[in-house]
């Protein structure tokens, strides 16, 4: 791993002071290559905090442009970037925040075909997409590439986060669960409306996206216990967090 410069040591001093991270953990962050799906509501805080944390290479894949209605929650963009590609808007924000971070921009939609060619060059995948097709594609691609996946989702006033490593085994020798162990099949098309139809409170995406960034930092540095086999649920209206444990299915599991 590359050593930290004096400027980086000063920038990340509050991390380095933490025994759970320290200088070695900060070097792991610097060496990490993380890919984020989406530079929108969840991707915005994920990219912001991982850039601030000193993740050395941040990739982002998104084919959308910034619109005025995005700005209520997608805080990596601003009024001056309306009409720009979200990846380009996010890239410029990251460059202003931390010049030590290298950004890789992919102006397209995530797919398993794309992942087959690109995902092996990253250490960690973070899914901040807003549709089930991409979530299942991301989970299947991460499992096939044997890359950890941090995935989150939001509704009107609620959200969830989990971490997936279905190619590794737990202390009891059993494989960790995957996304399809938690959600075996996507819901029928049109059953669950999107935020453009139902609305969403902007700060909620900040809560869930920041939790996703925290889980990514834990996975990279080895600090704490990531949400593997646990689904963290957040209800904003009641200000309540709950954790649901889940396991690998023993039968009827799709690859």
pLDDT digits (tens, 9 = 90+) for 217-240: 999 999 999 999 999 999 999 999
Supply the pLDDT for residue 247.
Answer: 94
Supply the pLDDT for residue 74.
Answer: 96
| Whether the predicted pLDDT of 211 surpasses 90 | yes
The pLDDT confidence band at residue 216, using thresholds 50, 70 and 90, is very high
- Above pLDDT 90, what percent of the chain? 89
Confidence (pTM): 0.94
The pLDDT confidence band at residue 1, using thresholds 50, 70 and 90, is confident
Q: Phi and psi (nearest 5°) for 67?
A: -120, 160
Beginning with the edge strand found earlier in the chain, give each strand of the sheet holding 33-37 in spatial order: 102-106, 57-61, 33-37, 124-127, 149-154, 158-164, 230-235, 240-245
Q: Name the helix (H) or strand (E) containing 105.
A: strand 102-106
């Amino acid at each position: 791993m590359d050593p930290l410069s004096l400027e980086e040591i000063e920038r990340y001093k509050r991390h380095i002071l933490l025994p759970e991270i320290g200088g070695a953990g900060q070097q792991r962050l610097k060496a990490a290559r993380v890919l984020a799906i989406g530079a929108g509501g969840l991707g915005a805080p994920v990219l912001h905090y991982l850039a601030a944390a000193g993740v050395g290479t941040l990739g982002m894949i998104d084919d959308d442009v910034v619109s005025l209605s995005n700005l209520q929650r997608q805080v990596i963009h601003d009024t001056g970037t309306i009409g720009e590609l979200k990846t380009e808007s996010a890239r410029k924000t990251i460059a202003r925040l931390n010049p030590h971070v290298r950004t890789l921009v992919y102006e397209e939609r995530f797919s398993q075909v794309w992942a087959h060619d690109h995902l092996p060059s990253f250490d960690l995948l973070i899914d901040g997409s807003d549709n089930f097709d991409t979530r299942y594609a991301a989970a299947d691609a991460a499992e096939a590439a044997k890359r950890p996946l941090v995935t989150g989702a939001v509704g009107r006033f609620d959200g969830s986060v989990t971490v997936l490593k279905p190619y590794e085994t737990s202390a009891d020798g059993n494989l960790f669960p995957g996304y399809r162990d938690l959600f075996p099949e996507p819901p029928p098309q049109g059953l669950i409306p999107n935020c453009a139809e139902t609305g969403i409170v902007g700060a909620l995406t900040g809560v869930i996206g920041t939790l996703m960034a925290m889980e990514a930092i834990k996975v990279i540095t080895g600090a704490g216990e990531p949400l593997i086999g646990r689904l963290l649920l957040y209800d904003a209206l009641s200000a309540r967090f709950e954790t649901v444990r889940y396991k690998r299915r023993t039968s009827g599991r799709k690859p």
